[in-house]
Amino acid sequence: MLTNKQHELLVFINERIRETGVSPSFDEMKEALDLKSKSGIHRLITALEERGFIRRLPHRARALEVLQMPDGMTAEAKAAPPPRGFRPAVVDANFRRPPPAARQSRPSAAQSGAVGGAALLPVLGRIAAGTPIEAIQHEVDRFAAPAAFLGAGDHFILEIQGESMINAGIHDGDYAVIQRCDDASGGDIVVALVDEEEATLKRLRKKGGSIALEAANPAYETRIYGPDRVRVQGKLVGLMRKY
């Protein structure tokens, strides 16, 4: 699953390489995606590279290679320019809390049904344990979670994508049981929404006036943000794994 901007950038890079044989510059990508800074392009390229869609060619400037396109795009669709006004269909990423009236009407985990003492929780899609990706807020399934995982309040499930939390026992393909909340203590593993756009599962650290989202894999860097750029959406309370 790619975010809207990641998908848009991948299509733009692919088209430019097909047309000219050279990947676009950062300035061209920034202008095409209507972004304010090249740092946003760098973040998108890194995300595409880590997901295996593109590769940076060493020792060459402006050298990107498109390795694959999103599932469902035919060879013809890859080669052809997008229609005017083209926008990939991507689910909105916000886990915004509903107004009080809506929260009162939302069923709790216990009220949403139970099987053999386990609560049926909504699966809201995938979340990255790596470079942040867009999190899906629409329900895609329901799983029975052991009641022992659950405390007070609302809970949901996200499928883990990536391996940056592997040393915390969180593997690619695991299902994270999340307790919905808007604050957490230092050291908690949380669903964090960055820049109101991308969600990731990381260990939260508070350092002075900054927020650090810490990976549990030395291959991934800790990312530090200003407090106004990060919103906690929930904290990890349990894991489920298929064998």
- The whole-angstrom separation of Cα 165 and Cα 215 is 6
159 within 8 A of 135, measured Cβ to Cβ: no
Query: 3-class SS at 56?
Result: strand
Which H or E run includes 77? helix 75-79
Of the candidates 5, 23, 30, 164, the residue annotated as catalytic is 164
Active site residue 164: yes
33 within 8 A of 41, measured Cβ to Cβ: yes
- The residue behind tokens 């900054």 is 210
What is the residue type of 25?
S
Spatial CA neighbour of 54 closest among 41, 69, 66 = 66
Active site residue 210: no
What is the residue type of 109?
A
Spatial CA neighbour of 24 closest among 1, 36, 8 = 8
Of the candidates 202, 206, 207, 242, the residue annotated as catalytic is 202
Residues acting as catalytic residues: 164, 202
